Chains A and B, each alone.
Chain A
């Protein structure tokens, strides 16, 4: 505990205490993950750039539409994989190693723990996203129109992805089950959801299912902020995404708010 805490030891509430706890938790997360973080960031950057480049080998002559989709889709993937895949696995590991209960015994509001994790994801996701975008711009002749909507789109996508992973990891007890779900999820994200390619290349029923799942709206909101005329009805995507964000926050609050 730092020197700042003794004076407020009796007052464990209020915005000052919350802000102080939040800063402590961000430091806690970054310190706890200091071994994993550089590796994860490297993997993010390599995978993002690799995706963008390997598509060129895949097609030979890359159609502009395919290049646009994969270049913007990869950004979304680098934003959400940490929160959706790595996050639940880390929490599963804490449960397996039995350090999970200790973490909740820390004297901080639980919302600060959740928001510190979202912040960590942002710190991790942004470099990978930036590198993927730069590689894509260098490799392909992209027709990008960046609008200010990129800020809410990126933040909402990151927040929703992180909170869904958080809710799944805290709600499920079995670490092996969490590992299996997240492995399956990465497969679905890369191969079976309209993030890196247009939804009309999926079978009709799968495209219809994706209209109600969070992955396609994530891709649509970010893509709409980076391009013109590619995404239609982006308001709907924001609404679906917002509903998923609210639901995952609700589940997390329910699970973490329980007294044990």
Chain B
């Protein structure tokens, strides 16, 4: 425990306490995941680069617009599995190992735990997202128009992904069920979501569902920050994503506030 916390043993609130707790929690999380963090980062980068190339193998020669669509979907595809799959799995491991209750006994605000998870899983996802975009742009010889919107877009996508993962990880009591949910999410995202290909290809009912679900909108905000003229009504997507963030936070907040 850092000295900053010990200095105020009676005052366990306020921004100073929160920050000190955040720093301590970040160090705790990093230290406890050090055995797999580096390996996982490398695998993540390889997967990101691999996916961008694999889609091309399946499609053969493709028109420039298809290639641009594919390349600008790659960062979103790299961000989602980390927050939505890896984070709940990491929480499930704590439950299996019996360290879960200990985690909650640490003298930090619960929002600190959430913020620390968000920070780590976002940082872990960013290299993979960047590499997959770079590899795709190089392989398909694309010209991208990077705007500063890429920062809020990527952060928002990662925030929702980690919030959903955090909520699922904590709300679902049985690690086995967490595992099943996680795999279903990955399956739906990788195979049946309009992230790397246009929503126009989807049958009507599935397209309608995706206008409510967050995945298409996540791809939209990232794509809008990387291209010009490919995405319309990006404001709408930001609104939908804002609503999803709020909803997942309410869910996560409810999960964390429960007394046991």
Chain A at the B interface: SS class: helix
Stretch at the interface among A55-63, A97-105, A147-155, A240-248: A55-63
Complex contact B198–A60 (CB within 8 A): yes
Complex contact A50–B201 (CB within 8 A): no
A197 at the interface (CB under 8 A from B): yes
Cα A51 to Cα B187 in complex, Å, equals: 10
Of the candidates B50, B58, B196, B202, which one forms a contact with A55 in the assembled complex, judged by CB atoms under 8 Å apart? B58
Chain A residues positioned under 8 Å from B198 (CB to CB) = 60
Complex contact B58–A57 (CB within 8 A): no
Residue of A nearest to B47 (CB): A187
Complex contact A196–B192 (CB within 8 A): no
Chain A residues positioned under 8 Å from B191 (CB to CB) = 50-51, 53-54, 57
Complex contact A202–B57 (CB within 8 A): yes
Complex contact A57–B50 (CB within 8 A): no
Chain B at the A interface: SS class: helix
Cα A50 to Cα B187 in complex, Å, equals: 8
Contact with A along B184-207 (1 / 0, CB 8 A): 000100011010111011100000
Contact with B along A53-77 (1 / 0, CB 8 A): 1111111100000100010000000
CB distance from A42 to the nearest CB of B (A): 10
Complex contact B197–A57 (CB within 8 A): yes
CB distance from B29 to the nearest CB of A (A): 23
Complex contact A191–B54 (CB within 8 A): yes
Complex contact B202–A57 (CB within 8 A): yes
Cα A56 to Cα B197 in complex, Å, equals: 11
Cα A198 to Cα B58 in complex, Å, equals: 8
Contact with A along B47-80 (1 / 0, CB 8 A): 1001101110111100000000000000000000
Considering the complex, which residues of chain A in the window 190-210 have a beta carbon less than 8 Å from any beta carbon of chain B? 190-192, 196-198, 201-202
Cα A175 to Cα B22 in complex, Å, equals: 37
Q: Considering only CB atoms and an 8 Å cut-off, how many residues of chain A contact the other chain?
A: 23
Cα A70 to Cα B57 in complex, Å, equals: 12
Complex contact B58–A196 (CB within 8 A): yes
CB distance from A249 to the nearest CB of B (A): 32
B residues lining the A interface (CB < 8 Å): 47, 50-51, 53-55, 57-60, 187, 191-192, 194, 196-198, 200-202
Q: A50-B192, A191-B51 are in contact. List 13 more A-B contacts (CB 8 A).
A: A46-B187, A47-B187, A51-B191, A57-B191, A57-B194, A57-B202, A58-B197, A70-B58, A187-B47, A196-B58, A197-B58, A198-B60, A201-B57
A residues lining the B interface (CB < 8 Å): 46-47, 50-51, 53-60, 66, 70, 187, 190-192, 196-198, 201-202
